[in-house]
Amino acid sequence: MHATLKKSYKIALVQMKSSTIKSENLKLSVDYIQQAAKKKVELVCFPEFQMVYSPPEQTAMELSTIAENAINGNFISTLRKEAKRHRIKVIATIYENMDTKGKKKIDHRVSDTAIIISDRGDELSIYRKLHLYDALGFKESTKLIGGDKIERPVKVGIGKIGMMICYDIRFPEMSRILTLAGADVLAIPSGWVQGIMKEEHWQIMLKARAIENGCYVIAPDQV
């Protein structure tokens, strides 16, 4: 497998520190898109938890009140407008309230969702995190619902991009499936948890996923 990309393609990786206030993170995101556009960037990729940081003490119900619909929620709608305005592609992440099909919502858990937005403001792909981080004292499944499928890579100028999120990187089968499906690039927005040897784990696994699949890896992280 070999990645065959354009000879010159400018990507911005936003490594931000998201707060618990969604409006602040949206304003910051818009500012970063504008900065990237001024530098003639073609694709800007945000980290996991871009929409909002969810502290451990926050309940599933509290997070659900912050989460939005992936298609027409204000957070993504604003980013779509900015992408179209500046003719720039965006990979964004949100907490997404899942469709309950008219039923009263009893399970308040949300999806950890990544969205690829075209430079026309269209949604090209919506990926919901498959592997929840239930390890080493963390239990994402108390507030999050895991996705149920790997989204096919989509063409985004640079080549075909396959989406993963953070903890997904620890499962090499997923990146192999994506590259066998045609991905030239793996985009992995992350909020990597700090800890002993964690930075080394992060760097080694990013390199491993690139080397073993013969592809590029884009992996912005929370600060």
Per-residue pLDDT of 26-77, as tens digits, reads 999 999 999 999 999 999 999 999 999 999 999 999 999 999 987 789 999 9
The catalytically annotated residue of 22, 82, 96, 166 is 166
| Inside any domain, residue 26 | yes
| Inside any domain, residue 6 | no
Domain count, the chain: 1
Q: Is the dihedral of CA 154, 174, 218, 31 positive or negative?
A: positive
Residue 166 falls in the annotated catalytic set: yes
Show contacts of 143-146: CB within 8 Å, 24+ apart. Answer: 143/54, 143/58, 143/59, 143/60, 143/63, 143/109, 143/110, 144/109, 144/110, 144/111, 144/112, 145/98, 145/107, 145/109, 145/110, 145/111
> Which domain covers residue 88, as residue numbers?
11-218
Residue 4's pLDDT is what? 55
| Inside any domain, residue 223 | no
| Inside any domain, residue 3 | no
| 20: CATH | 3.60.110.10
Residue 45 falls in the annotated catalytic set: no
The catalytically annotated residue of 45, 68, 89, 129 is 129
SS3 content of the chain, % helix, strand, coil (to 5): 30, 20, 50
Cα separation, 18 vs 51, in Å, equals 7
Residue 102's pLDDT is what? 47
Residue 129 falls in the annotated catalytic set: yes
Q: What is the DSSP letter of 190?
A: B
- Low pLDDT (below 70) residues in the chain: 1-7, 99-106
| Inside any domain, residue 40 | yes
| Inside any domain, residue 80 | yes
**pTM across the whole model:** 0.92
The catalytically annotated residue of 42, 48, 68, 96 is 48
Give the residue among 136, 135, 127, 146 at the shortest CA–CA distance from 188. 127
| Inside any domain, residue 207 | yes
| Inside any domain, residue 2 | no
